[in-house]
C-alpha cells in the first residue's frame, strides 16, 4: 500500500502552491489526473495557478489560508473535505527561510519561521490525518530540507524548523503506517528558486551556487519516491554521503561545510 503508483483520481492538498516547488508539484499532479486543492496566502496567485490547471482539464480548488494560523488551517481543511469528500495526499510544502547569522536574526522572525514551517505542518497534518486513518489510506509528504539533516551556517533559524519537521515525520511514520498512511520526507539541497534572494546569493560561496538544482528536479524525485513507497529521500542523492561522513568523521564534515557553506565574515 505505501506505493502510490497512480495519481488518477487522487485528492491532493498542496500547501505553498502559489509558486516554486508547490506550484510545479500541483501542475504535475494535475497532469497525472489528481484533483488538487491549492493552499497559500496569496489568493490571486492561487487563482492564476488554478485557472491554468482547469484549462488543462483538471479539477482545482483555491483555498486561501495562512498555514501559521490554526483556525484558518482547520477551516480550510473542513472546506476541502466537504468539497472532495476526503483527502488521499497531503503535501506540507509551505515555508520560507532566511540567510543571516543567528546573532543578527530578528527574534520575531525566528518565531514566525517556526510557526510557518513547523507548526504549519503540524496543523495540516492534525487536520487531515484522522480522515486518512478512518479511510485507512493516505500519503503525507513533508517537504523538509538537507538543512533538516545537517546544520547549515547562515540558516540557523531555518535549519531548526527543518530538523523539527524531519523528527516529526520520522516518528509519525511509525505511528500511522499500520493504519494505511504513508509518510515521505523530502530533503532537497539548495534549490534555484526565489528562496535564495539577491542578498542570499551574494553571501553564498561560489561552490554552493554551482551545486544548486532546479525545482523541477525536486518535483520529479518526489513523484518517483511516492510511486516507489520511499520513506525519505535527499535531492540530489550524493548529499547522503555527508550524513555518513558526519557519523564517522565529523571533523572532516565541519571543515568541508565551512568551506562550502560559510558566508564571508562581516
Whether 158 is a known active-site residue: answer: yes
Domain 11-261 has CATH 3.10.580.10: no
From 96, 123, 158, 174, active-site residue: 158
Query: What is the three-class DSSP state of 23?
Result: helix
- The reported pLDDT for the residue numbered 56 is 84
Q: Is 26 left (phi over 0), alpha (psi -120 to 50) or beta?
A: alpha
| pLDDT tens, residue order, the chain (266 aa) | 589 999 999 999 999 999 999 999 999 999 999 999 999 999 999 999 999 999 888 899 999 999 999 999 999 999 999 999 999 999 999 999 988 899 999 999 999 999 999 999 999 999 999 999 999 999 999 999 999 999 988 899 999 999 999 999 999 999 999 999 999 999 999 887 766 667 666 666 666 677 789 999 999 999 999 999 999 999 999 999 999 999 999 999 898 888 777 776 66
Measure the CA–CA gap between 96 and 110, rounded to whole angstroms: 11
Residue 168 near residue 142 (C-beta atoms within 8 A): yes
Measure the CA–CA gap between 33 and 62, rounded to whole angstroms: 17
- Domain ranges in the chain are 11-261
Residue 199 near residue 99 (C-beta atoms within 8 A): yes
Amino acid at each position: 500500500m505505501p506505493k502510490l503508483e497512480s495519481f488518477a483520481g487522487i485528492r491532493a492538498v498542496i500547501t505553498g502552491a502559489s509558486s516554486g516547488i508547490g506550484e510545479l508539484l500541483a501542475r504535475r499532479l494535475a497532469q497525472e489526473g489528481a484533483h488538487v486543492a491549492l493552499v497559500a496566502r496569496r489568493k490571486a496567485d492561487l487563482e492564476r495557478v488554478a485557472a491554468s490547471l482547469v484549462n488543462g482539464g483538471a479539477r482545482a480548488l483555491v483555498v486561501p489560508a495562512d498555514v501559521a494560523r490554526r483556525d484558518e488551517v482547520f477551516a480550510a481543511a473542513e472546506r476541502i473535505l466537504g468539497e472532495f469528500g476526503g483527502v488521499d495526499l497531503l503535501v506540507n510544502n509551505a515555508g520560507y527561510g532566511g540567510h543571516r547569522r543567528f546573532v543578527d536574526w530578528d527574534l520575531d522572525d525566528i518565531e514566525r519561521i517556526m510557526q510557518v514551517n513547523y507548526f504549519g505542518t503540524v496543523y495540516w497534518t492534525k487536520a487531515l490525518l484522522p480522515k486518512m486513518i478512518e479511510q485507512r489510506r493516505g500519503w503525507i509528504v513533508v517537504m523538509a530540507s538537507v538543512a533538516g539533516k545537517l546544520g547549515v551556517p547562515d540558516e540557523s533559524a531555518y535549519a531548526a524548523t527543518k530538523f523539527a519537521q524531519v523528527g516529526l515525520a520520522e516518528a509519525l511514520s511509525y505511528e500511522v503506517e499500520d493504519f494505511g498512511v504513508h509518510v515521505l520526507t523530502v530533503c532537497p539541497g539548495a534549490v534555484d528558486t526565489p528562496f535564495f534572494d539577491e542578498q542570499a546569493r551574494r553571501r553564498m560561496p561560489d561552490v554552493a551556487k554551482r551545486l544548486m538544482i532546479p525545482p523541477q528536479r525536486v518535483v520529479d524525485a518526489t513523484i518517483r519516491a511516492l510511486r516507489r513507497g520511499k520513506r525519505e529521500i535527499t535531492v540530489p542523492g550524493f548529499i547522503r554521503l555527508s550524513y555518513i561522513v558526519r557519523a564517522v568523521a565529523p571533523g572532516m564534515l565541519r571543515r568541508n561545510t565551512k568551506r562550502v557553506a560559510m558566508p564571508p565574515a562581516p
